[in-house]
């Protein structure tokens, strides 16, 4: 099923021709209207008329999160303020938020791409979409909301929090599609269990989860506990919001990035060099149709890989792999690069371990230490010390074998690791560097 069959299945040569035309156009617009780009292009000795093919894009300078902060709030806008109809911003936990503005056309594009994403995930008109993404400055709630309405589905704009009420409404209103963060869906499953509600009795069919990295093992867990098909969605406010890329329900293998609006690249986060197809690196996106705040080669800091292999669903758009972390969440422990999601994948692979964990990084003398806290579920518990110690050793060994980093596994009581209704906090870094 497609929402916009012509564009979703555009043959590659036509898609690339469209990208080239749109790229030329956006480069001219930002060069003319955004002083930041005019300066950075001039410094790189680049003029938009120099662009001869799509590959020339890799000669352009990057745009970073810091550039956005330096342009706070409106300096990167390419459209006059009177054409901006909506403003969103990132949470700004590490300083000033990053601000994005949308023109009427930007909102229409976002709405269409989000509707495309819903259809790719297996949703359709007639679905009751339980939208538990937060509404507000965060793009999740409103992005999914407008897309669902564009699709013709019924939206429940429940937003995040008040989990007991969420479960009651899901039950009583007959929600068929759930949109929220993956960790919140598991939190809901726990709450439902405590309330004596069985997800198998609900009408829920599909869950569309994003806004934080998760793993394939966590997907299995969610699908089993919520009795649904779990789909990975990707987006970030700087680029648009949710609906930049999504898995198709046919394959559930990589997220189609809507290439008629975004050009993806994968770079080495240290050297900035473009990496070949299939290699893991930082995702860089150029927005080619945006008017409010077009970004050229924006460094997303998300770690993934890219494939152009044809997909069984018939969409011709490239796929990015499930995010394996943030380039800035990457922990360097005794010189080894470790993403929390890699540890999660190992833990969930061990039978009986709950996907709730906390990584504590510290430094003793000059040595980094990693402690992995794991909750002891009833399935794991034994009256014999040696069984529990064997479990700790197994966690330590698997992490050492797979990631090459030595850690200490610490068993903790159930439900003592912080649960989150938004993005889960998985790492405590106590190192004073």
As measured in angstroms, the least distance from the Cβ of 135 to another protein is 32
As measured in angstroms, the least distance from the Cβ of 414 to another protein is 5
Query: Residue 23 or residue 361: which is nearer to another protein going by CB?
Result: 361
Query: Residue 311 or residue 380: which is nearer to another protein going by CB?
Result: 380
Contact indicator for 279, 265 with CB cutoff of 8 Å: no
d(CA 62, CA 238): 14
Annotate 400-426 with b (16+ C-beta within 10 A) or e (fewer): eeebebebebebeeeeebeeebbebeb
d(CA 128, CA 118): 12
As measured in angstroms, the least distance from the Cβ of 399 to another protein is 17
d(CA 320, CA 300): 13
d(CA 342, CA 396): 14
Query: Residue 416 or residue 428: which is nearer to another protein going by CB?
Result: 416
User: Which residue in the block uniquely carries the two structure tokens 């518990």?
Assistant: 381
Query: Residue 385 or residue 433: which is nearer to another protein going by CB?
Result: 385
As measured in angstroms, the least distance from the Cβ of 252 to another protein is 34
Q: Are strands 357-364 and 262-267 parallel, antiparallel or unpaired?
A: unpaired
Torsion angle, alpha carbons of 306, 103, 294, 71, to 10: -130
d(CA 174, CA 365): 57
Read off the DSSP letter of residue 46: -
Query: Residue 53 or residue 385: which is nearer to another protein going by CB?
Result: 385
As measured in angstroms, the least distance from the Cβ of 194 to another protein is 10
Q: Are strands 177-180 and 206-209 parallel, antiparallel or unpaired?
A: parallel
Q: Are strands 255-257 and 319-320 parallel, antiparallel or unpaired?
A: antiparallel
Query: Residue 152 or residue 352: which is nearer to another protein going by CB?
Result: 352
Q: What angle do CA 209, 210, 213 make, to 5 degrees?
A: 115
As measured in angstroms, the least distance from the Cβ of 411 to another protein is 5
Q: Are strands 427-429 and 357-364 parallel, antiparallel or unpaired?
A: parallel
Residues in contact with another protein by CB under 8 A are 376-378, 381-385, 388-389, 410-416
Query: Residue 12 or residue 410: which is nearer to another protein going by CB?
Result: 410
d(CA 273, CA 247): 27
As measured in angstroms, the least distance from the Cβ of 196 to another protein is 13
3-state class of 373 per DSSP?
strand
As measured in angstroms, the least distance from the Cβ of 374 to another protein is 11
d(CA 288, CA 305): 21
As measured in angstroms, the least distance from the Cβ of 389 to another protein is 7
Query: Residue 87 or residue 412: which is nearer to another protein going by CB?
Result: 412
Query: Residue 201 or residue 413: which is nearer to another protein going by CB?
Result: 413
């Amino acid at each position: 099923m497609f929402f916009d069959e012509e564009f979703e299945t555009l043959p590659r040569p036509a898609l690339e021709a469209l990208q080239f035309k749109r790229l030329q156009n956006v480069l001219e617009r930002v060069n003319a209207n955004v002083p930041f780009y005019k300066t950075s292009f001039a410094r790189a000795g680049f003029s938009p008329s120099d662009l001869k093919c799509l590959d020339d894009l890799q000669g352009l300078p990057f745009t970073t999160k810091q550039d956005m902060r330096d342009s706070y709030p409106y300096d990167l806008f390419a459209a006059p303020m009177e054409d901006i109809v909506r403003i969103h911003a990132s949470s700004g936990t590490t300083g000033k938020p990053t601000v994005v503005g949308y023109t009427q056309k930007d909102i229409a594009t976002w709405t269409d791409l989000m509707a495309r994403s819903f259809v790719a995930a297996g949703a359709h008109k007639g679905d009751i979409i339980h939208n538990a993404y937060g509404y507000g400055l965060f793009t999740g709630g409103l992005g999914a909301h407008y897309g669902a309405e564009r699709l013709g589905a019924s939206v429940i704009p429940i937003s995040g929090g008040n989990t007991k009420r969420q479960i009651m409404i899901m039950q009583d209103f007959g929600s068929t599609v759930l949109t929220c963060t993956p960790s919140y869906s598991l939190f809901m499953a726990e709450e439902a269990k405590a309330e004596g509600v069985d997800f198998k009795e609900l009408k829920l069919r599909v869950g569309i989860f994003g806004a934080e990295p998760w793993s394939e093992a966590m997907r299995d867990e969610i699908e089993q506990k919520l009795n649904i098909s779990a789909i990975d969605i990707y987006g970030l406010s700087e680029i648009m919001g949710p609906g930049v890329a999504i898995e198709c329900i046919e394959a559930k293998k990589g997220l189609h990035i809507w290439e008629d609006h975004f050009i993806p690249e994968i770079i080495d986060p240290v050297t900035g060099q473009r990496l070949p197809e299939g290699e893991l690196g930082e995702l860089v996106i150029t927005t080619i149709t945006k008017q409010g705040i077009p970004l050229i080669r924006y460094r997303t800091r998300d770690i993934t890989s890219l494939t152009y292999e044809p997909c069984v669903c018939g969409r011709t758009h490239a796929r990015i792999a499930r995010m394996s972390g943030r380039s800035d969440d990457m922990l360097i422990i005794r010189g080894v690069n470790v993403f929390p999601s890699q540890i999660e994948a190992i833990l969930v692979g061990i039978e009986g371990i709950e996907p709730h964990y906390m990584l504590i990084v510290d430094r003793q003398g000059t040595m980094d230490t990693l402690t992995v806290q794991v909750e002891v579920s009833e399935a794991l518990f034994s009256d014999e010390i040696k069984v529990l110690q064997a479990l700790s050793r197994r966690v330590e060994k698997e992490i050492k074998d797979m990631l090459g980093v030595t850690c200490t596994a610490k068993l903790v009581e159930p439900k003592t690791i912080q649960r989150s209704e938004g993005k889960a906090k998985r790492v405590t870094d106590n190192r004073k560097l």
